Amino acid sequence: MKLITNGIKGTEDILPADSYRWQFVEDIMRTQAQSYGFREMRTPVFEHTELFNRSVGDTTDVVQKEMYTFTTKGGESVTLRPEGTAGAARAMLEHGVYNEGYPIKAYYLTSCYRYEKPQKGRQREFHQFGMEVYGAPSFFADAEIICAAKSVFDRLGVENLSLELNSIGCKSCRPIYHNALKEYFASHKASLCETCLSRLDKNPMRILDCKSPVCSEIAKGAPKVLDYICDDCRQHFDGVKSCLDSAEVSYTVNPTIVRGLDYYTRTVFEFVSSNIGAQGTVCGGGRYDGLIEELGGQPTPSLGFGMGIERLLLLLDSCGIEIPKPPACDLYVVGMGEQAKLKAFNIIEGIRNASLIAEGDIVGRSLKAQMKYADKIGAKFSMVIGDNELALNKAKLKNMADGSETEVPLDDSFFNAFFSIYVDTNNAGIMDWGSAPNPARASRP
C-alpha cells in the first residue's frame, strides 16, 4: 500500500531507537543550565512577523530569504520562529518578568524553522538549546554565558573545539565603523552580489557574512571592527578576555566574526569544530544590549547563545563519543492462562511503581516467542507464571545473563525477594521497596 505522503523535505523524524540520544544530550543541557541558575522558558512556535523583522533585522538572510511567513485566516502575518532569542525577549517583556528583579536567566530547548537548502547539519526544521540573560551589563556575564556553553561540551566529553571571540562595538562606535565599511565596499561595488548591494547603505556589516565566494574574497580586505570600537567597548572586551584567562578557557580573537543576526552588540562568540565539515559552528552567541529597547522595552543589557542540537549530535558521532544506551528491561513476566496473566500484570505494575522497568506480553505471543522477545529487549530477568506456579504460590526467577534460576514467592514478599536478588546481581544500592504491589517509596538504583 502506497503511503499518502512522506515527511517534508528538510525535516527529520526522531524514531524511538534514536530518541535516547536526544534525551541524553537534553538532560545534560538542562542540568548545566540549572547549575548556572537558569530556569526553563517555553514560547509559541509562531509569532507576529514584525517581531523578527525588528529584532533579527530586515537586512539579514534570515528575514530576506529564510523565514516561513504566512497570513492567518484573520489576516495577520505570522512567522514560524527562525531562532529562539526574539520570542524569549518578547515573552519577558509582555509578562513583566523583569519585575522579579535582575538578572533574569532563562534557557530553552526549542524547534526553529528556516527555509534553506537542506544539507548535513542544516535542516529546515532544526532544534536549539539556548540560554538568555537580561539585566546584566558586566563583562562577567559575558564570560559566564561562554563558560556555561563550554560546560555542556565538557560534560559530553567534546574536545578540540575552538572558541572564537570578537567585539562588534556599540551604537556609539559602530556608525564610525559602518562608514569605513561603506567607503571600502563602495570601491568594489561593481563586483558585489545583488544582495550585498542592497546591504551597502542599510547595514554594510552584513556583507562580511555573505556566502558568495566573490563577496567573501572582497571582505577579506575590509576594515577590522576592533580598530574602530570605542574605549568602553574595548574595556568590556578586555574584561571578558581577562575572565576567560582566569578560568583557563582558551580562545582566539577572530575579528571577522559578526554573527548572522542584527541584534548583536559588543561581544560575539562561536564554538567551532573542524570535524563536521562546512557547518562547523556548533554554538554561537553574544551580547545584544539594544534588543529589548528595539522591541518596546526600557534599555536592558542582554546576552545569550544558541546551540544546534543536530550539529552537536553530528559532532559527538565524529568524535567517537558514544551516548549511553537507555536502561534495559529489568524483569519480563510471562503469564500462561487468564489468572496467571492477571498475576503477571499485578507484578509488572508493582515493579514499575518501584521505578524499575518491567514488561509483559500485550500482543498475544506464545511462550517461546515471549522468551525470544525478552532476550531481544535485553531483559535482565524473566519469570513464567502458570497454573502450577499459582497453585504453589511460587515461581522461578531466571537470570537472563547466565541462565541461573531462583525460586521466589508470589505473595506480597515477592518484591523484597526480587529486589534482594536484583541488588546482588547489579551491585545496586540498598533501599526499601515497601509492600507490594505499590512500593512507591523506592527509586531506580
What percent of the chain shows pLDDT beyond 90?
A: 74
Higher pLDDT: 434 or 236? It is: 236
Distances (CA, A) of 375 to 19, 49, 91, 347, 369: 22, 53, 49, 19, 10
pLDDT at 443: 38
Other Cβ atoms closer than 10 A to 23: 13
Q: Name the burial class of residue 22, with classes exposed (0-12), middle (13-18) and buried (19+) by CB atoms within 10 angstroms of its CB.
A: middle
Instruction: State the chain's mean pLDDT as an integer.
Output: 90
What percent of the chain shows pLDDT beyond 70?
A: 93
- Give the pLDDT band of residue 441 (cuts 50, 70, 90): very low
pLDDT at 444: 40
Report the alpha-carbon distance of residue 116 to residue 389 in Å, rounded: 63
The CATH superfamily of 331-426 is Anticodon-binding domain (3.40.50.800)
Report the alpha-carbon distance of residue 370 to residue 363 in Å, rounded: 10
On the question of a common fold for 19-173+229-318 and 331-426, the answer reads: no
Domain boundaries of the chain, sorted by first residue: 19-173+229-318, 331-426
Residue 270's closest CA among 106, 262, 279?
279
Task: For 120-147, write each residue's pLDDT tens digit.
Answer: 778 999 999 999 999 999 999 999 999 9
Other Cβ atoms closer than 10 A to 362: 7
- Give the pLDDT band of residue 216 (cuts 50, 70, 90): confident
C-alpha cell at 400: 537472563
Task: For 164-200, write each residue's pLDDT tens digit.
Answer: 999 999 989 989 998 999 999 999 988 989 888 888 8
Domain 19-173+229-318, CATH number (from 3.90.850.10, 3.40.50.1100, 3.90.120.10, 3.30.930.10): 3.30.930.10
Task: For 282-311, write each residue's pLDDT tens digit.
Answer: 999 999 998 999 999 999 999 999 999 999
Residue 228 has pLDDT above 90, yes or no: yes
Sign (positive/negative) of CA torsion 7, 11, 17, 20? negative
